[in-house]
Chain A
Amino acid sequence: DIQMTQSPSTLSASVGDRVTITCRASQSIYSWLAWYQQKPGKAPKLLIYRASSLESGVPSRFSGSGYGTEFTLTISSLQPDDFATYYCQQYNDYLIYSFGQGTKLEIK
């Protein structure tokens, strides 16, 4: 099975900062990677699919990049609404999907 590893586990930042979260796959997943945002008590929300495509309605300050085994989610200028937990997910192995362990983005 493909393992997904996110870093860091926790990130402290301020409004207006540029932040980057990294996700590594244990084997190549080409571009079959998605990013989700989750707030406490809520279902996850799809932000990015196919590594770099922005889901409809998601602000353009969110962007994704990468291919193969290394991927990044970047928020260009943090807004108060962005403090949440972020997960990557591979769907290269379309039979079995797996998530990273999550990155909690906290207010500094």
Chain B
Amino acid sequence: VQLVESGGGLVQPGGSLRLSCAASGFTFGTYWMSWVRQAPGKGLEWVANIKQDGSEKYYVDSVKGRFTISRDNAKNSLYLQMNSLRAEDTAVYYCARKGKGFDYWGQGTLVTVSS
């Protein structure tokens, strides 16, 4: 099982960024998937979930209306579209597979929101 995030970088406040997570080694379309973030020196914060077929999506309150989680099962890929970014969104973003817990994680991609 491997999860590889990409798409992080430096963005100005109010800007947008799209993160990707490439999955391999398992049947991607049969698992809920999530994004979890960690601000520098802080704890883990769950960000969003998406059901196997993409029909259900859930978000932490702080990102509702700004972030959109999506997936493409044909491409074994998970995405996070982040709009209206704020300084407090600065964090390492991890994708994670929801098995018996979050049993597999990617290495993370750093998003920095700063002018």
Chain A residues with CB below 8 A from B58, complex form: 95-96
Whether the Cβ atoms of B101 and A55 lie closer than 8 Å is: yes
A89 at the interface (CB under 8 A from B): yes
A69 to B34, CA, bound (A): 24
The range of chain A's interface size is: 20 to 34
Q: How many chain-B residues does the 8 Å CB contact rule pick out?
A: 20
Chain B residues with CB below 8 A from A91, complex form: 98, 101
Chain B residues with CB below 8 A from A45, complex form: 105
B107 at the interface (CB under 8 A from A): yes
A49 at the interface (CB under 8 A from B): yes
Whether the Cβ atoms of B101 and A95 lie closer than 8 Å is: no
A24 to B5, CA, bound (A): 32
B:58-115 near A, CB below 8 Å: 58, 60-61, 94, 98, 100-103, 105-108
A44 at the interface (CB under 8 A from B): yes
Question: Given contacts A95-B58, A97-B34, is CB(A44)–CB(B103) below 8 Å?
Answer: no
Whether the Cβ atoms of A55 and B46 lie closer than 8 Å is: no
Whether the Cβ atoms of A89 and B100 lie closer than 8 Å is: no
B25 at the interface (CB under 8 A from A): no
A34 at the interface (CB under 8 A from B): yes
B44 at the interface (CB under 8 A from A): yes
Question: Given contacts A43-B94, A50-B100, A89-B101, is CB(A96)–CB(B46) below 8 Å?
Answer: yes
Q: A46-B103, A91-B98, A99-B43 are in contact. List 10 more A-B contacts (CB 8 A).
A: A1-B61, A43-B108, A44-B94, A44-B105, A49-B103, A55-B100, A89-B102, A96-B58, A97-B46, A98-B46
